[in-house]
A and B are shown apart, each in its own frame.
Chain A
Amino acid sequence: MRNVFTIAGREIRSYFVSPIAYVVLTGYLLLGGWFFFNLLARFNLLLTIYSAQQNPQVLERLNLNEFVIAPLLHNLSVILVILVPVITMRSLAEEKKAGTYELLLTSPLRISEIVLGKFLGAFVFVAIMVATTFVYALILMVYGNPEMGVILAGYLGLLLLATAFVAVGVLMSSFTENQIIAAVSCLVSLLLLYIIAWPADSAGEVMGSILKYMSLTEHFAQMVKGVVDTKDLVYFATVIVLALFLTHRSVESIRWR
């Protein structure tokens, strides 16, 4: 375990000495702020219109959770699809390019320690990214009365989604020494997992439900609604464990060739 933390610690420090970390964090917060501002402005407008019309039924249905937090979380998840590959692309690819891969593999480390350390390092960075956007929820709590439980479930969903993205990103980074290839293949895989359920309604019952089960969005959407179901937690855990297992095999494969 000590070795895992050593590798993760070095990884996190290296994120924060490179400009990529700050560009990504700034971009994420900038876009997040823009979404938040616009969703809030729209919510305000709807509120004004329906108050003027004195329509109590509609007013009852307008709430911060459904009209601000839920779309905000969905938008943030799309941005993560684009930004996580930028964070994870260097993970193992850069080690290979710089020759430090040889140092890691000729040290008395287990491959699982290298993989977990790399994953943990990127995870901590992405968790910081997700945590910074919690400020929007805090603002709503100060000025409004959203439902706390639903918000927490949604953010847990966002964090799990981001963690699964990181695991896929580290896997893609293990296949190549070229960071661009790592980033693009990660982006494509994540997008595919994101939209894989699109043909679900026309694909027949069995195929449709399989596609829906595979889709990250379906499981994430449940959590954004405030439903923390074991089924969804198991799904995220499966994606993470599977990606890390494949990364282990990928790193180990140098010993078979």
Chain B
Amino acid sequence: MLEVRNLTKRYGDFVAVRDISFTAAQGQILGFLGPNGAGKTTTMRILTGFLPATSGTAKVAGYDVFTESAEVRRRIGYLPENPPLYTEMTAEAYLRFVARIKGMPRSAIEDAIDRVVQTCGLESVRHRLLGQLSKGFRQRAGLAQALIHDPPVLVLDEPTIGLDPIQIREIRALIQQLAGQRTIILSTHILPEVSQICEKVVIINEGRVVLEQDMATLKSGGTLEDVFLRAIAKAHDADHAAEATA
């Protein structure tokens, strides 16, 4: 469903993502982990067609992100780190706008709005201005936006950041409920979140994949926190070793 192969992204001399590869099967929730600045957001921006990669390929739902960008963008729902909200619009008007630019047929739009408003628990704020909503509701509106055209692939960049514990639990439950047939990539640095909802984990550090494993296999190797720290330390040592031999 999702296939990343040897992806590299440079900004001038700085290499944000180097030669990463991983895959996610249909219906899988993939946890995309890594310290801040590891290249998670860059990778997600490449997958959603916002940024081009310097080299490498990525396929979403069988379409190439670079050569068939429009097809990919039609099939992907994306929640960036900051929900992309127009603060002067009401939740409902905003969702209608997003549905239209996602290319939904006019007749399907109102039903789709009702569906995501209900799924994301936005009933009580449906007619309120987005700028007046609390952080939790903004995050839900962002999620509703990503879901409106019922995409087979969802890309969520730190969906629970800045939320209180109750909201985190609600969003988490929502993501689990959304899985089903959908493939979801979820970036975060909150480890318990991943062990609770993800079926597969990819850890990246300094732009490199240091671990790609199914949750079940991974859990036998200790807690996720141990595995995470070990993987990152190992990558760090390997770097130093490489430097020493060079």
Residues of A within 8 A of B (CB): 2-3, 6-7, 10, 13-14, 17-18, 98-110, 254-257
Contact = CB atoms under 8 A, between A and B. Distances in A.
B48 A106 contact: yes
Interface stretch (B79-87, B161-169, B225-233): B79-87
Contact of B100 (A6, A14, A100): A6
A98 B87 contact: yes
B96 to A, nearest CB: 9
B84 A17 contact: no
Interface stretch (B70-78, B182-190, B207-215): B70-78
24 contacts: A3-B101, A3-B103, A6-B100, A7-B101, A10-B86, A10-B97, A14-B86, A14-B88, A14-B89, A17-B88, A98-B85, A98-B86, A98-B87, A99-B82, A100-B86, A101-B84, A102-B84, A103-B84, A106-B73, A106-B76, A108-B71, A108-B73, A108-B101, A254-B51
Contacts of B76: 106
Q: Which of A10, A18, A257 is most buried by chain B, counting CB atoms within 10 A of its CB?
A: A10
A7 B98 CA distance: 10
Contacts of B97: 6, 10
Nearest to A16: B88
A99 B97 CA distance: 16
Nearest to B74: A108
B52 interface: yes
Contacts of A254: 50-51
Contacts of B145: 103
Interface of B: 11, 45, 48-52, 70-71, 73-74, 76, 78, 80, 82-89, 97-98, 100-103, 145
Contacts, number: 71
Given A6-B100, A14-B88, 13 more contacts: A3-B101, A3-B103, A6-B97, A14-B86, A99-B80, A99-B84, A104-B101, A107-B73, A108-B70, A108-B71, A108-B74, A254-B51, A257-B11
A23 to B, nearest CB: 16
B101 A6 contact: yes
Contacts of B100: 2-3, 6
B102 A108 contact: yes
B94 to A, nearest CB: 9
Contacts of A17: 88
A255 B102 CA distance: 20
A17 B87 CA distance: 11
Among A101, A102, A110, A254, chain B packs the most CB atoms within 10 A around the CB of: A102
Contacts of B50: 102, 105-106, 254
Given A104-B101, A107-B101, A18 B88 contact: yes
Nearest to A17: B88
Contacts of B85: 98-100
B68 to A, nearest CB: 11
Contacts of A14: 86, 88-89
A109 B86 contact: no
Nearest to A100: B84
Contacts of B49: 105-106
A99 B102 contact: no
A255 B85 CA distance: 23
A14 B87 CA distance: 10
